[in-house]
Structure 1
Amino acid sequence: MKALLITDQTEPLLISDVTLPEVGEHEVLVRLKAVALNRRDQWIRQGMYPNIKFGSVLGSDGAGIVEKVGPDVSDSLIGHEVIINPNVKWGSDDMAQSKEYSVLGMPKNGTFAEYIVVHENRLADKPEHLSWEEAAALPLGGLTAFRAIFHHGHLKPGDNVLISGAGGGVAQFAFLFATAIGANVYVTSGSSDKIEKCLNAGAKAGYNYKDDQWFKEAHKISGGFDVVIDSAGGNQINDFIKIMKPAGRIVFYGATNGTPEKLDMFRMFWNQITLQGSTMGNDHEFEDMVSFVKKHEVHPIIDSVRPFEDIISAFDDMKAGKQFGKLVVTL
């Protein structure tokens, strides 16, 4: 079968012919119909991810059809249309992942292939209202956003929420989920085009974070924020602190801008503000996220779709950072 591997050659991505994986106990073979990229995949390509295992099949997001089942797995699963939960060994504590935790797609072989073998408990039924491309876009970004928005952010209808870096994979799901429950959604971006797209999709207002004083206008118009969802960290954390309502929650699921040079702890303690880290989410949250998507008929935002033989070009687009929504590949 065809698969995309991470290698130690000059171009670290290589489409190769590899052996079809065997199906063991409690496992299933899924014929993938579509897969989607995440920032994690490009970081691995660039050597910016810990403990890279060369020869691994990349990819965390995918959707397809169960084609074969192993011993002790019901034959009734054959033919089911499914999406794949990318969690590997989250553990028994829903509050935080175990020390053995990893994400599908390195070191465990991932979705960027014609077939994948996973444990039967990694499957969820594909929501009927989603296309294959939309279903493939959902798992990692959707789960990360769901945990940040609801588990840590405690977002409710009518709350004011600011989502930074609008257009990224997780950010777009945070936008969709918050909009679905009737929150007042505001966004930031360095791109006026992305801000305009969010406004057209229901955002109350958008702000260009390249403007040093953007947060003053945001606070004036919104009256303050109950929740901020952020992926960048850095000094802008202090801008968020200035515009929070009392007892507001700042939830960050990444730190691409590093740590802030200083932290306005005085304003934080006086206003009872929480600064909370977050990751992808546990298995129960994955089930809840899929149910939420079904109930609200959420449609992931797709930037582009291309065939598997052009998958490396999708990595190039992700590196350029101009996409709005998910980069999807069909098989």
Structure 2
Amino acid sequence: MHAFVHEGNELIYKNLNDPVIEKGKVIIALRAAGLNHRDLNIPSRRGENSIPLVLGSDGAGVIEQVGEGVKELTIGDEVIINPGLGWEKNSDAPPKGFEILGMPDNGTFAEKIVIDAKQVEKKPDHLNWDEAGVLALPALTGYRTLFTKAQVKKGDTIFIPGAGSGVATYLIQFAKAAGAKVIVTSRSKEKLGKAKEIGADLAIDTHEDWESLLRNETIDIVIDSVGRATFNRSLSVLKKGGKMITFGSTTDDEITINIRQFFYGQYQLFGSTMGSTEEFKEMLDFISKHQIKPVVDHVFPLNNTQAAFDYLRAGKQFGKVAISINR
């Protein structure tokens, strides 16, 4: 089978042996995969490693083989992969041993994958292959952030810096489906317009004076994944006693905070990452109920995955970048 791998110090499209079926597992002929920022960072984390690793966490496809003991799935089923490994029940934090598909295990940028049947769910009927392929990791991240951590409710106002990220596009749609008001920011006028198209109520320029523009808004929840560049600016518009949730950092990880201002404001700060299998199933039910579709910005064929990496690294996308496979 063909796959896109990290090997040595290089990213390579090459031929690998087909995976072999095992007890309790299934082999999926993949139709699409989704590119995440995590994939961009894995080569530097692995360093020079002679063992080829198939990259990719998100994917969807058709069951090709079923291992002994698998009862819920049959050959021909259209499925989506849950990339969160070893986190079955919802809990305050991931359990020890939690991993994400695509390192250290081989991932989804390949024509086939063998994976534990517990990591597989039926594909929502309203999604095409590209939409299903880019769904899992960012949608699960957004779902846990918004519902488990922020505990959003109807009538809340949510502030999301960085409207163009994959997770942000899910957050906007999830929050609107839950009856919340959504305010977003971006440096790009085009991305601000697209954010409004998918449900954002107010879209403001990153370089504007947020406190002045939002002085008549009551921000109940801030969801910030940018890091140092926006953390304190985001905190400045949050209501006293409000919730701030962070799930990533596209700028510097370390920030400086006025702790006295923070505790006098009685703010609540939460960290979040990925989610459990329970939350994954809840998320799939939620998007099916509300007919929510991922925003797919661009699709690249598997043999041109390097171009997809370059495109995502440039940061011009609004939504997700998909990899087309076996089509």
User: Considering the TM-score relative to the shorter chain, is it more than 0.5?
Assistant: yes
CA displacement 1:43-88 (0-9 Å, x = unmatched): 124x1x3688641100001000111011112385211110000011
Moved more, 136-145 or 239-248: 239-248
In structure 1, C-alpha distance between the alignment counterparts of 2:146 and 2:16, rounded to whole Å: 39
Aligned to 1:161, what secondary structure does the other structure show?
strand
Q: Deviations over 1:77-114 (max 9, x none)?
A: 21111000001123666221123121101110000000
Q: Among 288, 294, 300, which residue is 1:306 paired with? A: 300
Is the partner of 1:324 in helix, strand or coil?
Answer: coil
Residue of structure 1 in register with 2:267 after alignment: 273
After superposition, residues 192-231 of structure 1 pair within 5 angstroms as 192-211=189-208, 213-217=209-213, 219-221=214-216, 223-231=217-225
Amino acid at match of 2:306: I
**Offset from partner CA, 1:12-56 (integer Å, 9 cap, x none):** 2101110111111100000101111000011124x1x36886411
> Which residue number in structure 2 is paired with residue 318 of structure 1?
312
Deviation at 1:257, TM superposition (A): 2.2
Deviations 1:142-196 (A, max 9, x none): 0000011111111112110011111111111111111222210110112121011
Please tell me whether the aligned partners of residues 44 and 52 of structure 1 are also in contact (alpha carbons under 8 angstroms): no
Matching of residue 107 in structure 1 with residue 104 in structure 2: yes
Q: How many residues align?
A: 324
> Using a 3 Å threshold, how does the CA distance of structure 1 residues 3 and 295 change in structure 2: closer, same or farther?
same
Higher relative contact order (CA 8 A, sep 6+): 2
Task: Specify the code of the residue in structure 1 equivalent to 2:225.
Answer: S
Asked whether the 8 Å contact 1:91–1:98 carries over to 2, the reply is no
Instruction: For residue 136 of structure 1, report the CA deviation from its aligned partner.
Output: 0.8
2:146 pairs with 1:169: no
Of residues 184, 189, 194 in structure 1, which corresponds to 2:181? 184
Cα displacement (A) at 1:254: 1.0
Q: Which residue of 2 aligns with 1:4?
A: 4
Residues 55 and 109, structure 2, Cα contact 8 Å, conserved in 1 = yes
Q: Is the 8 A contact 1:69 1:75 kept in 2?
A: no
Closer, same or farther: CA 247–50 of 1 in aligned 2, 3 Å: farther
Q: Which amino acid aligns with 1:29?
A: I
> Per-residue deviation at 1:220?
2.0
Q: How far apart are residue 255 of structure 1 and its match?
A: 2.1
Q: TM-score, normalised by structure 2?
A: 0.94
| Residue in 2 that maps onto 1:82 | 79
Q: Secondary structure at the match of 1:20?
A: coil
Q: Tell me which residue corresponds to 1:246.
A: 240
Judged with a 3 Å threshold, the aligned counterparts in structure 2 of structure 1 residues 76 and 232 are, in CA distance, closer, same or farther, namely closer
CA positional deviation for 1:259: 4.4
Residue by residue over 1:226-253, the C-alpha shift from the partner in whole angstroms, topping out at 9 and shown as x without a partner, is 1111111215222222211232111101
Q: Is the partner of 2:26 in helix, strand or coil?
A: strand
Root-mean-square deviation (Å)? 1.8
Aligned in 2, Cα 1:210/1:7: closer, same or farther, shift over 3 Å? Answer: farther
User: Whole-Å Cα distance in 2 between the matches of residues 50 and 263 of structure 1?
Assistant: 32
Alignment of 1:69 onto 2:84:
no
- Report if aligned partners of 2:210, 2:237 keep a CA contact under 8 Å in 1: no
Partner of 1:118: 115
**Partner of residue 328, structure 1:** 322
Structure 2 residue 127 is matched with structure 1 residue 133: no
Cα 1:261–1:102 change in 2 (3 A) is closer
1:32 corresponds to which residue?
Answer: 30
Letter in 1 for 2:26: V
How high is the sequence identity, in percent, across the aligned residues?
38
- After TM superposition, the score normalised by the length of structure 1 is 0.93
C-alpha separation in 2, matches of 1:75 and 1:155: 33
Moved over 6 A (4+): none
Q: Which moved further from structure 2: 179-188 or 110-119?
A: 179-188
